[in-house]
Structures are given as structure tokens and as C-alpha cells.
Structure 1
Amino acid sequence: MKRTAGSVLLASAVALSACSTINPYTGEKQTSKVTSGAAIGAVSGALIGIATSDSAKQRKERALAGAGIGAVAGGGVGYYMDVQEAKLREKLKSSGVSVTRDGDRIVLNMPGNVTFDSDSTQVKSSFNSVLESVAQVLKEYKSTMIQVAGHTDSTGGDRYNMLLSQQRAQAVANSLGGFGVQAVRMDVVGFGETQPIASNGSADGRQQNRRVELTLIPYEE
């Protein structure tokens, strides 16, 4: 069945437990161990700015058209994402950012310890070059929509964590925008501590949970 431009941006809730990832430190292929609950939450959150109402879809599509952004033909989506993935993996080697492929989606996991100082919402100056590399690829592949999602561990209050995650996601989006990625392509959201990918019962688990994720989804016909 042919998917519409609006419907394709609503990612289906599927578990990511068997996704192929590349370890950003060793360069080796590994299996991502993510709890199914967190995976479903992450995927269901990837709305990429298009709401369910027809009017919202039309407004978004008009905005994309006005920015000169067209959809990818259905038959070419797989190749379009394959090439994009390969370029991202090459640019992000040894950066600390992992690249996960799930169907037609690509997820870039940016750990908090390499992206931000503790309790800070300002992107580390040393990480700007990584975001610039990501932006270079995103500018080349303009039919890719981007969800920028912030996540925290469970330390601290719910409201504080939610605000921190939102501010960190916005900081990353602002940096990408500064490097030329159009704002109309980005959807910025904070999930606070609600979508852990590891146990908050250990320091290592909490460190994994503190992250910003970019979910890249093709804008299809």
C-alpha cells in the first residue's frame, strides 16, 4: 500500500532490540540491547512535526515545499537511506556517537558525557565539530526529517529532568541550525527520564540514559 507524505513520518512502534549498531570507540558491529518498552516509546515519539490532523499535515507539507524540500520516491527510499547511513558512519568514526539503522530510519545516539558538561545545557565546544559533520550530511540529504530528542537519567525531579532534556535537545537543534540545517525539518522534544535505555540503578546505566538522539526519517511520496 502506498504511504502518504504525512503517514510515513509517523514511525511504527517496533522494538529495536536486534538493531545493528557500530561501536563508536572500536568501530566493530554490535547488537544494541534496548528494552522493548523504551524502544516503543522512542519510536512512537518520532512524529517529526506532522500531527494527525489533515490541516496540520497540509501546513507542514506547504512549509517543506516552500523551503524547496521534496519527497523521496517510494522505490528509492532504501538506497537513499543506505548512502546517507554510510556517510554518517564514516564521519562519526571515533566521535562517541553511535549510528543505528532500523528499517528506513537512522538513529544517532549522542551520549551526554561527550555532548554536554554536567548539568549544562550548552553544547561542549569540542562537540561542535561533530555536529557540523552531521549537518554536512543532513544538508546533502534534504528529504530527511529529523527528530531531536533529549533524555536524562532518573536523578533529580521529574520536572527538572524534563526541562533539562528539552533544553539540551533545543541546544543541539540550534547548533545544527547554525550549521545550515533548516528548522522546518526538525522536531525538538524532551522526554526527561521516561525512556531509559539502561538501568538507572548503576552509574554506567545512568550515563547511557543521559543522551540526545537524532532520529532521521525519509520524507516519502
Structure 2
Amino acid sequence: MRKFVVVIAALALAACQTMDPYTGEQKTSNATTGAAVGAVAGAVLGAATAKKGKDRGKAAARGAAIGGIAGMGVGYYMDQQEMELRQELEGTGVRVRRDGDKLYLIMPGNITFATGRFEIRGDFYPTLNSVAKVLKKFDETAIKVAGHTDSVGSDSSNQVLSERRAESVAQYLRGQQIAAARVQAIGFGERYPVADNNTAAGREQNRRVELELIPMN
């Protein structure tokens, strides 16, 4: 049984190699761990439910194959989406962050909206078009658009501004033929700063819109 698991895990490792768009080097993707764990779990379950001898070995192999494919599925899908987003957004000012099987696109306020406004800047539309291009292709992810502000102004005004900015981005994505059911807009006001609001540079970082991409399966 161990031999079958090793073979399946090796195949998963080879299949889950992706290219880093910045270095051009091959790297092991986040799907690999899921594939290997799935293979082991499938092999153990297959062996446990089979008779002794050859049948047990065959059952372990089948279980490893099925478990490996299932384990690598979501991770591999998000790996490919991450790679294409990084390629499309390189040099735009939008940062791509990976957290497990979730992806985050951080869009700083200095490139998305004018100060105190919720209308998308005209020169940001090409970047949003690049985002929409990838999101249309990878249509098995839900999209949460979150608006954030700095601490200048009242809590209530910042809350409304963050909601309107999030909805502006969400509406634009829906207008690019992304299913409305996939897109949710939410505003957090000034509640979740990522930098010091006492500095201009910190406030600029806090004025942002983030897209959280969540696998639906």
C-alpha cells in the first residue's frame, strides 16, 4: 500500500508545479499538500474496506487515486487563478495575497478613488478589466468586495463611503458579465486598518478596496 501512495503523491507533485510569473521558476503549488493528504487518506480507507491480499492492495491504489484527485482539486484551481491574476496585475499597484485556498486582491485608494469619492477613477478601469477577465474564466469562486477607509472624518461617514466604494467595484464587475450571485459588497469603514492612521502613508494604505476570492466547491 505504501508503494501505491508514494506513486500517487509523486504524480500529484509533478502535476501541481506552477511557474512563478516574477522569477520564471517552477514552484510547488499549494495544491500539492492537499493531493498528498488525499492520496494517503484514500489509500487507507480503500485498504480498510477491502479483503486481505491482492484485493486490499488494489483497493488502496484506487482509494489513493481518488483521494489524490479530490485533494488537489480546489488547491490546483486556486493556484491557476493566482498565477493568472499575478500575471495580469503585475505593475498595476494591485497586490495579490494568498491565504490557504483563498485569494485577496488589495486595491489601494490612491489608484482606485479620488479622496472622499466613491466613483472609480477613469485610469483604474483597465486594471479592473484585467481582474474581470480572470474572474470570468475562473467562475467557481465567490467574490467578496470589501471597502475600507482611514480614520479621518466621522465613523458614520466613513462607513457609508466604504460601502459605496465596495458597491462601485462590485457593480462594475457585474457589468463585465460576472454573475451577480457571485459578487457581494460590504463596507467596514475605518474598523480594520492595516497601517498607522497617524501618518499620511499609513492612511493611504488604509484607504483601500479588497477582493476576497473564495472557492465555491
Could you state the TM-score of these two structures normalised by the residue count of structure 2? Answer: 0.67
* Counterparts of 2:158 and 2:117, CA distance in 1: 12
Are 1:116 and 2:116 matched, yes or no? no
- Measure how far apart 1:74 and its partner are: 5.4
Residue in 1 aligned with 2:93?
Answer: 96
* Counterparts of 1:77 and 1:202, CA distance in 2: 40
CA contact (8 A) 1:128 1:175 kept: no
- Measure how far apart 1:206 and its partner are: 0.4
CA contact (8 A) 1:199 1:205 kept: yes
**Cα deviation code 1:95-132 (max 9, x no counterpart):** 01000001001000000110011111100111011111
* Counterparts of 2:115 and 2:191, CA distance in 1: 19
Aligned residues: 151
User: Which of 152, 156, 159 matches 1:155?
Assistant: 152
1:120 maps to amino acid = R
Residue in 1 aligned with 2:4?
Answer: none
- Measure how far apart 1:180 and its partner are: 1.3
Q: For residues 167 and 74 of structure 1, do their structure 2 counterparts lie closer, same or farther at Cα, with a shift above 3 Å needed?
A: farther
CA contact (8 A) 2:146 2:210 kept: yes
* Counterparts of 1:180 and 1:132, CA distance in 2: 11
**1:2-81 alignment to 2 at 5 Å?**
75-81=72-78
**More helix per residue: 1 or 2?**
2
**Residue 87 of structure 1 aligns to a residue in which SS?**
helix
* Counterparts of 1:167 and 1:101, CA distance in 2: 26
* Counterparts of 2:82 and 2:199, CA distance in 1: 32
1:94 maps to amino acid = G
**Residue 175 of structure 1 aligns to a residue in which SS?**
helix
Are 1:194 and 2:196 matched, yes or no? no
2:188 maps to amino acid = F
Residue in 1 aligned with 2:209?
Answer: 212
Could you state the TM-score of these two structures normalised by the residue count of structure 1? Answer: 0.66
* Counterparts of 1:75 and 1:99, CA distance in 2: 21
1:196 maps to amino acid = P
Root-mean-square deviation (CA, aligned residues, Å) is 1.5
Structure 1 gaps of 5+ residues are 1-21, 29-72
2:216 maps to amino acid = Y
Percent of matched pairs sharing the same residue: 52
Runs ≥4 in structure 1, deviation > 4 angstroms?
none
Residue in 2 aligned with 1:176?
Answer: 173
Higher relative contact order (CA 8 A, sep 6+): 1
If you compute each CA radius of gyration, which structure gives the higher value, 1 or 2? 2
Residue in 1 aligned with 2:64?
Answer: none
Q: For residues 131 and 85 of structure 1, do their structure 2 counterparts lie closer, same or farther at Cα, with a shift above 3 Å needed?
A: same
**Residue 119 of structure 1 aligns to a residue in which SS?**
coil
Structure 2 gaps of 5+ residues are 1-19, 24-69
**Residue 195 of structure 2 aligns to a residue in which SS?**
coil
CA contact (8 A) 2:109 2:204 kept: yes
